[in-house]
Structure 1
Amino acid sequence: MLFPSRLVQRFFPIVVIFMVVIFGAVYVYSVPFIKEKVYEIERNSSRIALDNVFTIADRMYADTENYQSQTLDANKERLKIVVSMAESYIAQVFQQIDEGPVEGRMSREEARASVFDMLRHFKSRAGDYIWVASYDDRFLSHPDDRFHGKDVSTLKNSDGVVVLPEIIKVATHQGEGFYQYKWNRLSENTQLDKLSYVKNYPQWGFVMGSGVYLEDVAAELEIKRNKALEELRDSFKQLRVAKTGYLFIFDATTNMLIHPNPNIDGTNIQNLLNPVTHKSIADDLINVADTGKELFYKWDKPEDPGNYIYEKLSLVRHVKGFDWYICSSVYVDELKSSSEQLSDRILTIALLSLLVAVAMAFVFIYWVTNPIKQLADAALRVSKGELTATVGFRRDDELGILAKTFDEMVERVRDNIQNLDLKVKNRTVALEKSNQQLMETVRSREDAQQALTQIEERQRIILDLLPAQVAYFDSELTFQFVNQRYADLLNKSKSEITGKALEVLSQKHYQALLDQLMPALAGIESNREYSYWSEGRESITKRFLTPCRNEAGQVVGVLLVALDITSEKEVEKKLLEAQRMSAVGHLAGGLAHDFNNLLSIILGNLVSASEHYQHDTELQRYIKPSIRAAKRGANITSRLLAFSRRQPLAPLPCDIHLLLEETIELLRGSLPSNIELVFDSAATKGLPFVDPGRLEDALVNLVLNAKEAMPRGGLIEFTVTELSIEEGRIGKESAGKESMILDEPVKAGDYIQITVSDSGQGFTDEAMLMAFEPFFTTSTGGVGTGLGLSMVYGFVKQSNGYIKISNEPVRGAEITLLLPSVLAETLSETTEIRAYESPEWKGKLILLVEDDDDVRQVVRELLIKMGFSVIESSTAEEARELINVLDNIYALVSDIRLNGAANGFDLADNFKLAHPQNRVLLMTGYAFDENSGREGKNHYAIIQKPFDIKKLIDAFQIVYEA
């Protein structure tokens, strides 16, 4: 065997010593630490178990509290239900008394006595009873004979409180509520806390209530608490700390609630002493509760009872909700045993590992150092000039690769020396060629720099010509570039701004720009609109700030672009106004169908009732205003559509005096009693040539506006005068006055002037300017729509009239309407009276299609009055089947909007296809021509809902003539 080399002799002892030192250091620094940590882990396991149980107990208390709240809420709801049942019973009895036959019917007092007697014997399943008391503190009904029928206005409970007067005071003030007080149970004298639900019944003149004793609620909670304790006891059976450690619970009175030792469980531990402190073990445990400290004491073991020499540690947590103390208990020697066993095993394993490592180190070092020695010998020979020297061994590991590489390197060095001169010469030639290429690259860079300068100049010219303000700031907020428009904005030249800090701006401009620049320097793009005055006009500008970044992603500057958007804002404003008006039209159109269906039912039934009871003067006095109100409701829909769609009016000579009298009669019932309506009537030769329904709507709007201006009441006065206007002046009826100051100059002609004045607050300056603007309103809280005066204005202008608003001295507002008039003689004195039935229609079969049952019934009765026979359908599908089956259908009357995919037009097309010569009349709730958009298709007569029999006859006459 070869002797170890000097490298082995030197290196191996060092390795051995180093490993021994490491082993000793590891043992010194790790084993005691491991012992300590294992001991701490065992102690912490006791703490964790205790904390987990504490958390469970705390959650149980929270659940108990929640259950208490839920139980109380449930009892409150039960009391409400009990009182509500009694209320329903009383209301039913009184209703039967009021509605029953007179003979044999009990008086109301007898009914009250019967009800109170029944309530005395009422009890719910939960044992609740009901009591009733009058406002003079007397029990009208009470199941306890001590109180029934008695005056208890001075009766006090054990707290010295007069109970019933206080309860009645709460009920009459609040209407209903809960009241807690002390009261005794039935037939008992002990007073307990009680919660009652009390409700006032002013229509019957008494207060009624029902209550629950809080002692009963507490009993339910005690059951819940005991259940929680049993759940904890079950969980403790499965829980152990260390080997024989355990958890236990006792309450604030030192009663042991849970303990694994049956000799201690359920007992009072106040007299158990701590052998260390000689004090009560319970007091010592309470003193360390929630302090984070452990209680050290000595106790016996199960295998050595009565010998209190074994050290124990206890942690204590206090559950404040239940007032419990949860404790962990573990023996100290059990905590240490695991750490000592672990330390012994670690030491044994470390010694064995050290011996194996020393043996392996020797073998490894010898195996590695011997080839190194051979390499060193070969290198020594090469250094002496022997370029043919080789290592002399081959291996398949890294040392073998090193040996092979060394031999190849020596061979390569030998070849390199021979070819070195040739390579140096070739490298010199290549270097000269590279220098020439570098010179050409420098010349190209100079040309590119010149071209870039020209491009930048062109870009500056383009930016100056852009219709925008452009600027660039570096990260220090210094101007690096501005275009000419930005310089013109500041009234400076570009040279005066470029290179300057942001402070070159005005203080206002500086602050506004700085607020937007700071986020941009943080990498946030933004845009903001602002306005300024220039040359007497307001300009609106939108400013965009874009961060500029370098290759590393850092913000190195900010690009500012500002655009003048004044014209776009004006267009946007006009577009919003147009969209708002379009929205009004769409909303009105969507409501028209259903609203007019309802009015068709109301108007049809009112007209039928009026005709049926035409000799009943008293009933006619109520029906006629209702008919006018229903017609006015239809006009409201027409008015909204006319405002949004510019629907043509239907003007005719109008008896203004009769219209004003009917309008005032209609309004008196809807105005407060403190507002008086006065009509100053003067005879006029002419009549206003307007749409009567729209004029009535305008007058109603003016009165309702005046009412809002008189919250404390006042006077609203109507005045009608006749005017003849010459060119630019008033005629002889008002001679001496100057030309009228209205919304525009008045054309010459004859007019009827209607003045509506009030004694209210008048118009503000803003209202005088904005009164006719759509959606402008002075009402607050979302009450006003802002459409009233604008609709009046639209009606007046469509009627070729004039309007003005003003404030009268010592009075309120005054609105004047100037409407064109015609002579009263031009109004036809004859009125066409036509019988409902016609020989042409008698017995003819009409197919009526309407999906609303009530509307269908009204239209059916009108058609029957006209002499038709009617077959009806509620769907287009059913109507199609009838069209295909019946050949003798005289005409089709159908609503345009029907449930399902088909509408009235589709059904009419099908009817015309089957019966080309027969007639079609369509009904609609809209106030515009629904035939529009049907170019190339059949067009049909349409009647507007709601309608009466006269309008229906006129519509059929048109269909017949067609």
Structure 2
Amino acid sequence: MLFPSRLVQRFFPIVLILMLVIFSAVYFYSVPFIKSKVYEIERNSSRIALDNVFTMADRMYADTESYQKQVLESHKQRLKIVVSMAESYIDQVYRQVKAGDIGIEEARNIIFEMLRHFQSIDGDYIWVSSYDYRFLSHPDDRFHGKDVSTLKSDDGVVVLPEIINVATRQGEGYSQYKWNRLSGNKQLDKLSYVKDFPEWGFVMGSGIYLEDVQAELEAKRNRALEDLRESFKQLRVAKTGYLFIFDARTNMLIHPNPNIDGTNIQNLLNPVTKKSIAKDLINVADTGNELYYKWDKPGDPGNYIYEKLSLVRHVKGFDWYICSSVYVDELKSSSEQLSERILMIALLSLLVAIAMAFFFIYWVTNPIKQLADTALRVSKGELTATVGFRRDDELGILAKTFDEMVERVRDNIQNLDDKVASRTLALEQIEERQRIILDLLPAEVAYFDTTLTFQFVNQRYADALSKVKSEITGKALESVSQKQYQATLVQLKAALSGNGFGQEYSNWLHDREVIIKRLTTPCYDEVGQVVGVLLVVLDVTSEKEVEKKLLEAQRMSAVGHLAGGLAHDFNNLLSIILGNLVSAAEHYQADAVLQRYLKPSIRAAKRGADITNRLLAFSRRQPLAPLPCDINLLLHESIELLRGSLPSDIELIFSPVVTKNLPFVDPGRLEDALVNLVLNAKQAMPHGGSVHFVVSEVSIIEEGMRLDESVVPGQYIQICVSDTGHGFSDEAIRMAFEPFFTTNSGGTGAGLGLSMVYGFVKQSNGYIGVKSIPGSGAEITLLLPSILAGALQDSTDLVLSQSKEWKGKLVLLVEDDDDVRQVVRELLVKMGFNVIEASTAQEALELMGVLEGVFALVSDIRLNGEVNGFDLADNFQAMHPCSKIVLMTGYAFDENSGREGKNAHRIIQKPFDIKELKESFEVEDQLGKGE
């Protein structure tokens, strides 16, 4: 019986323990790693198969493109041969002419008739055209012998002249155009070879329809698809994985499942995302990512619970999407099987190693040491390390497997690097999108380095310099634009020193002031050093105009409230003064001395009333009664009125015009405005001159016209009043519509003339403008809203009825100012009325309820308390529907808006005299009759 030696007995347990430890280490350290890597390798095998098919498809597309060029070149050569054959035939016929066998005309007829019926075996035909674009020979009767110099294709191109010009310029050449087939009317793309024959005096050509060429290419493409389908039958991924192809319209071109092959998969849903699986596949195309979804198995159809992974590549030439599809459990099963096999091999190797170690400890332990050393190097990242020996036993197999594993790990890392590169490309695409966004910003953007060299500009900045971006980027600002350099140098240098700020400045562009805001911002690196400057230029013109209009509107509103309030109180005072003065003048008519004092006072009081009316006009608070007015008649009457008050050396000129539209304004206020304009012109012509009135119709279709502001589109009547005076200065034009501004020497005059005109025009929804050249006169333009002349009704020419007797009839007078109430009472008594007074609206309401037979209500509009004159008139009309209502005001305010209908009442402006009060009652009588 043999016993092991002591050395074996001594070292074998140690070796055995060591081998067991190594085995355990290899198992727990390497097998999980191998399983994961084998899983990745299986996944990568589908990627490799997909990439191979993608490369094959891409080469097929390249072959198809090359084939297309070859086919087209072949057809070109064939066309030249056809024309050459016809040329040979013609040459033979002309030889007969030279020999005297036939005449030239007979020869041409023979040639053209023969060419009409010539067709090659491929269906090509010959056509012949003269230099004046007439077909001398053509197989189509629609064109044979016809002049086609103006014949156009469906896209509007004159066809034959261009073809003839190519031939005559070059001698021969190819032309592409649209032409119909001999038996059809549909025009198709056609390529013709044409050749000039100056010795015969015509051009000859033959062509081919590109549709036929495309048919050949389509057949070639279909054959390529069938070849690809055959190759797919031999290709598998994992156990049951496969490849399939669909196009951009989601038509399935190749699929191993006959139920899906050849169908449209647009409505085929991904069970995971509940979206179209075709769109999900398209979204991951060429991203390097896999699409995860669940699907059924051939052995378990309709049960969509099995996990699958798909990779997608996009063949841009064919617009195909090539996809791999593999079940996840199959990928895992391969790694599991491989792990089990590796474990089995390791166990067998361990048993063999134990047996071999018993006899060959050294011979066995040395390669194990090498393998351990190599594993250690690999674990430290040295992926180029190899075991370093080759043997034909189990250790050799293990060493070889280990080296292959390391090589695959190295390949996987390389694939990871490729993915990183792909991601870098995606980031570059994101940067490009950001550039596009900057180009679309409504601002000029530029970035400079510390030497003021352009590093980036957006499209608006380049457009502002009338350059393309490539002409600016990388160049110094000073060399690109001296003007920009001088304008921004101070700001840019300040930003380079760390002081960024904004600055506004104005510029004139196309006769328009443009306000620009320039912003500079320093850019810093990670250590806080300025490395560049960002320049942003914004157009803030519209914002500034809105701000200016808002401030002007606030100022006008404040002045308007002040002017309206003053006018109300002043009119009440004037009503008292004028009423008492008129009464005194009537009572003491025989006292000539007293009359001499009273009459100037009455005129002064009336002039004060006129000033308050101007204040109301300026503040746009005067009561207006707009209606269609005859502008020719109004101007004629105004001129007649003015001629008596103007010096003889001032001439008023107006030529009436017929207009379809009439201005829709208050005629009285328009007349006041025209009078003010003429009086202003009089001040500008101290030595005489002329004033011209021009009336015209203006139709504004789109925004663009501008007077005091942009004109809203619509129909207008334009009145231009021009004089030959000394004109306006620049300051006078700027201040023309300001209240209390006057150009009279010494500051005399109220300064409300043009302000009143401005207020009336704006209150009438119109526009006003001033043009003047100092020393050459001025022109004031009024643009007033208009309506059709048919709207002018007879009621606008209201004729006051004859005075009536109101003796003994009862009038209810409501006025909260005692003195004003006393003056109005005296006027009513003089007219023959019996008067009952009320000092408050509440008192008047109580009297309305108990009084009977009240003939009229005369009330102030502005009363103390919550009830005003309009409310009081509405209540009175409800109680006494047949009675008259006359309202008094020194101030027109918002309560009057919207009362132009059935509740409109007669309003008389304070101060007034007995004549105006009588006219108010007479007009009220006619309104009550429906006139």
TM-score by length of 2: 0.39
